[in-house]
Structure 1
Amino acid sequence: MGYLRLLLEKLQNSVGKGGEKKGYEKNFDPDDPETIDMLCNLPAEKVWKIRKVSKGLCDLIQSPDFANTFLERAPSIAFLQRWQSMKFFYLDEDDNKRVLVNGSVPLLKKKKIPILVGSCNGLLLFESPPNFETKYNYYSYYIWNPVTQQVVNFTCPALDSQSGRIYGLYYHSSTQEYRLLYLRMNTNDGLFVRDYGIIKAGQNAGRRLYLQGQQRIPCPKAQPPAVVVKNFLYWMADSDNSYYKRPCQHSIIGFDTDAEELFTLPHPDDNICQPSTPHCPRIKYQMRLLEMDGRLTCWCLGVASAHVWVLNDESNNWSLRCHLNFDHDLFFKWLNHDIKLVSFLNNEVLLVWYDRVFRYNLSTRKVRNLKGFKHGFYLILVAHTKSVVILEDQRVGQPIYFESKEEDKSRWVDQVKQN
């Protein structure tokens, strides 16, 4: 912990004669590049604790500019939640250790156990579906930073056949705001997006409701959570509705977080399912999306093998990165579709499979199990970066509502305003 020692020495030397507090505040420069560099080399938990040393340091660490600078240097790790459990885990790729995250947050325990549905810059988004204890049949949501232990909670309406839910949390770079994407579905004519709302995280009311145009956007899967790649969110299309033909060209749903527009992409063509096929049964079980090296990656599972594809940003075409050959008896029995690829590291792939986590060496085909994961738990997985991002919470658990962008055409019923 050399950076922590150097930082403490620097802070001590900045104190005036006699150690007076006034001298400390006068001499300490929170904008000093050396101070910022030292802070950014510390673990996020240490940075958050050290803010208590002085008001100047606290103001620096809690500022949005420092939070963004810290995020630029912080490594991406895996964050896992056990199904229907308040137990969370960090999975560190370097030392293969799992660390239990403090899940004893009072606000997270007030209602039904929430399910992890998104991650952005250290903020985790959880959803608790409506139940008999939930007033007005609302979905309950929580944004939680495990480092700062801040929780922002709010609710969204579920309105019969026009029900909707929040599908993602993202950072809007031009306004430097954290926002939420709310999708409302039209269930009468296939599972398609009817319209969508933009919500500022921590704001007391919804932003706007955008009407969907002529393009038909399939409903994204609520699980697994959205994959964040630069300024885009991605999901696989929901394949539960068998009454409408969903071509492979629209099997991936994307959302541009800068333009705040929805679009679709085809899945990789691996000569098993052609893009012109009217139905795509592989969407449901055999394909998973993830971010890897700043690119959208598609993990396509077969019976005893897998293909890893990456999306070319300029052409929006898929390129095959590698082909993995698995031992059928060792890996697959009946839960083969549930294997999740996490990352590549030192010629090994990190995989999560239902009740265990392991590494698979691409050259030797040997497996190393990561100890500590008990059998019988389904793990929800997202890419995560530890941060000191904090939100201004003005919502206090109240329902949100939307202002329509086109009031003359919107059918949104403003019946969920605060009573």
Structure 2
Amino acid sequence: MATVTTDMGVSCWSLIPYLWQKLLAIAGLYSKVDVPSLPDAVIIDILSRLPADHVLQCRRVCKEWRALTSTACFAQLQLKRATSEILIGVLDSDLPRCVSVNHQDFSQKIAELNCWVLNSCDGLILGKRKIPSQVFIYNPLTQDEITFPEVFNECHIYGIYFHPVKKEYRVLYAFGHDQANYYQYSIANLPTFSRRPLSHRFYCCPPSAEATIASGNLHWMLEHRKDSSGNPVASSKMEKDDEPCANSILKFDIHTENFSTMPHPEWESCTGPSYGEMQLLQVDERLSVCHKRGYSVFLWTLVDYPNWHWIRRYKVNLRLDMQIPNSVRNSKVTFLWLKHDELVLHCQGESKFLVYNFKMLAYREIELSKNFDYTFYSHKKSLVSVRKQ
């Protein structure tokens, strides 16, 4: 098969009349002339620019198109060009569910699943059902699903990622050893579920939040323990007891499959641990930090990943800019999503989302049917399967 180049650009769109003529010829509605075949690379380049659900429809056109769009290489190419949707996890203990919505209209429901969402990667949802209790990976578009062995029901699952060298999906998880007071991390290769323990151990509970994926790696804010005097205690053997802010972000490198800890923005000027009010987000494929200090919210973006260089992009005052009541000052605010200069947040105890537009300097409210906790994920419709890569 010919090599696909991504710089063919807009010139491919000039071939649309040809493709229309080809479709008519295949359907027997056009027989004026014989329509020559396009090179495979051109067909792949055009079809990979379509949304994944449209590609599924194109597979019905002919066997040639079905074969070209059914390879793992095509799935990865289409994935790179796909746009993101918002996947909302509703943390309801009675009926856990996730809802896929349009990022510009939260009322436009695309799909719904009854599960807890643990992570989303490349169009694959890593989830957990309540009844029956099981962990699974599911592609909502292709409906391809793999159920985990029962042993995974009792462990902490922290993320799914694509290993760039082995070209396979893997799951990062941990088992707790209560008697030894540590958590052992391991990796499961998909789809065989062959398992391999990592050398690193955490001597307290691992991060409770879902992983934030940026630059292909997995990230968490670390929750540091405190001793009886209120001083921070290292939560892993990599950390120094007296520098919690310098080791506040845990990073898992998918290439080396090793852990490391990194500092949060402005950690040098901290007078004390300030990461408790920080949350990680993925913004435009980059790692970002939302930091709430009183009524003020600061948003930092990691612009230079190798050198770990942050810049402050936005600042908003919850009371002045969004007219949030005084009671929110000490309440929990969850930052859910930032895209197209709009920050979505949820205040604990409120049955609504607040959406602030940094360009318009205005906010709007999205009423919710009930007051639950929510998680947001960036999700792409894709043709990716964990069964073949």
Count matched residues. Answer: 353
Give the alignment's TM-score, normalised by structure 1.
0.72
1:78 match: 86
1:137 match: none
Residues 324/99 of structure 1: CA separation in 2 closer, same or farther (3 Å cut): same
For residues 36 and 358 of structure 1, what CA distance do their matches in structure 2 show? 41
Q: Does 1:221 align with 2:207?
A: yes
Aligned partner of 2:20 among 1, 4, 9: 9
Residues 249/186 of structure 1: CA separation in 2 closer, same or farther (3 Å cut): farther
1:57-96 matched pairs, under 5 angstroms: 57-84=65-92, 85=95, 87-93=97-103, 95-96=104-105
Residues 6/177 of structure 1: CA separation in 2 closer, same or farther (3 Å cut): farther
For residues 68 and 205 of structure 2, what CA distance do their matches in structure 1 show? 42
For residues 158 and 13 of structure 1, what CA distance do their matches in structure 2 show? 51
Query: Which secondary structure does the structure 2 equivalent of 1:259 belong to?
Result: coil
Question: Is the Cα–Cα contact under 8 Å of residues 101 and 109 in structure 2 kept in the other structure?
Answer: no
Query: What is the identity percentage for the equivalent residue pairs of Structure 1 and Structure 2?
Result: 25
Superposed CA RMSD in Å reads: 3.6
Residues 5/318 of structure 1: CA separation in 2 closer, same or farther (3 Å cut): closer
Per-residue deviation, 1:380: 1.8
Q: Runs of 5+ in structure 1 lacking a partner?
A: 105-112, 135-139, 394-419
Per-residue deviation, 1:338: 3.0
Q: Does 1:42 align with 2:39?
A: no
Q: Does 1:184 align with 2:175?
A: yes
Q: Does 1:31 align with 2:26?
A: no
Query: Which secondary structure does the structure 2 equivalent of 1:152 belong to?
Result: strand
2:9 match: none
Question: Is the Cα–Cα contact under 8 Å of residues 168 and 386 in structure 2 kept in the other structure?
Answer: no
1:197 match: 186
- More displaced, 240-249 or 173-182? 240-249
For residues 97 and 212 of structure 1, what CA distance do their matches in structure 2 show? 41
Query: Which secondary structure does the structure 2 equivalent of 1:80 belong to?
Result: strand
For residues 124 and 349 of structure 1, what CA distance do their matches in structure 2 show? 23
Aligned partner of 1:209 among 190, 197, 203: 197
Query: Which secondary structure does the structure 2 equivalent of 1:45 belong to?
Result: helix
Per-residue deviation, 1:72: 1.2
Residues 336/251 of structure 1: CA separation in 2 closer, same or farther (3 Å cut): same
Q: In structure 2, what residue type is equivalent to 1:59?
A: A
Instruction: Considering fraction of residues, name the structure with more strand.
Output: 2
Give the alignment's TM-score, normalised by structure 2.
0.77
2:262 match: 265
Could you give the per-residue CA deviations for residues 98-129 of structure 1, whole angstroms, max 9, x where no partner exists? 4324336xxxxxxxx53111111100101347
- More displaced, 232-241 or 76-85? 232-241
Per-residue deviation, 1:273: 4.2
For residues 344 and 218 of structure 2, what CA distance do their matches in structure 1 show? 22
Residues 349/245 of structure 1: CA separation in 2 closer, same or farther (3 Å cut): same
Question: Is the Cα–Cα contact under 8 Å of residues 82 and 378 in structure 1 kept in the other structure?
Answer: yes
Q: Does 1:314 align with 2:306?
A: yes
1:51 match: 59
For residues 150 and 257 of structure 2, what CA distance do their matches in structure 1 show? 20
1:127 match: 128
Per-residue deviation, 1:173: 1.1
Q: In structure 2, what residue type is equivalent to 1:321?
A: R
